[in-house]
Amino acid sequence: MTQWSLAQLLSGLHDDIQHKLQTSRTCLGHPGTKGDASESVWLELLDRYLPKRYQAAKAFVVDCEGAFSDQIDVVVFDRQYSPFIFLHHGQTIIPAESVYAAFEAKQTLNAELVRYARQKVASVRRLYRTSLPIPHAGGTYPAKPLIPILGGVLTFESDWSPPLGQSLDAVLRDGAGEDRLDLGCVAAHGTFSLDDRTEEYSYDQGSKPATAFLFNLISRLQFSGTVPMIDVQAYGRWLSA
């Protein structure tokens, strides 16, 4: 009889991600190609293991006022209640109301990447989001408060020694408000996560960071609830622009 092991299944999930990221780093010569491969690894992980109400894609985010974010390597967005996702010449464009999280994905973690990721995440968070009252059989629920958009970084390794030490903590603490990073994964070394109550970062240098990050992200998405009901007509007014 086959003896199943949950520990081995979870370990295998991380090992697969780390192997793919390492292969991208060692076998691909062009920096842009390496970056694209890294993004693909993380997108594949999230699309495979997140609940189907969520989807992950490299995308731009747009609001009903016509403002766009920077291009984001990994956007986690709602697919169950989102009425439209634009696909234009290979580019994905997502309405701001549908976004749960935005991540920058690169090969190596360093101060430059953290600052760059903060700018990218801020470009999403500053977009305007609508929220309509929700009709139901007995009447109407009030408009849902906007959920916080998570932001973070995803890499294979770190330039720092130690990889998740004071140097990382210092540059993370430079962020506040719209450019704050909430969580991240360095697949070869560990994960970090911000506690919203204490506003302190914690660092886990466990042996299976990719799996730990996935579980942390799913948990945060569970507690964030559902995205607000989008005002489609606010976007529709651009038809006559």
Active-site annotation, residues = 73, 104, 106
Query: Does pLDDT of 71 surpass 50?
Result: yes
What is the pLDDT averaged over residues 48-63?
93
**Is 85 among the domain residues?**
yes
Q: Which amino acid is at 160?
A: W
Query: Does pLDDT of 86 surpass 70?
Result: yes
CA 36 – CA 73 distance, rounded (Å): 9
The answer to whether the CB of 91 falls within 8 A of the CB of 125 is no
Six-digit token string for 185: 């994964």
Confidence of residue 56 (pLDDT cuts 50, 70, 90): very high
**Is 152 among the domain residues?**
yes
Q: What is the tens place of the pLDDT at every residue in 181-220?
A: 999 999 999 999 999 899 999 999 977 898 999 999 999 9
Domains contained in the chain, number: 1
**Is 151 among the domain residues?**
yes
Range(s) of the domain holding residue 118: 32-132+139-236
Among 83-87, 88-92, 135-139, 185-189, name the one with the lowest average pLDDT.
135-139
Query: Does pLDDT of 30 surpass 50?
Result: no
Query: Does pLDDT of 25 surpass 80?
Result: no
Whether this model's pTM surpasses 0.95: no
CA 154 – CA 132 distance, rounded (Å): 33
**Is 126 among the domain residues?**
yes
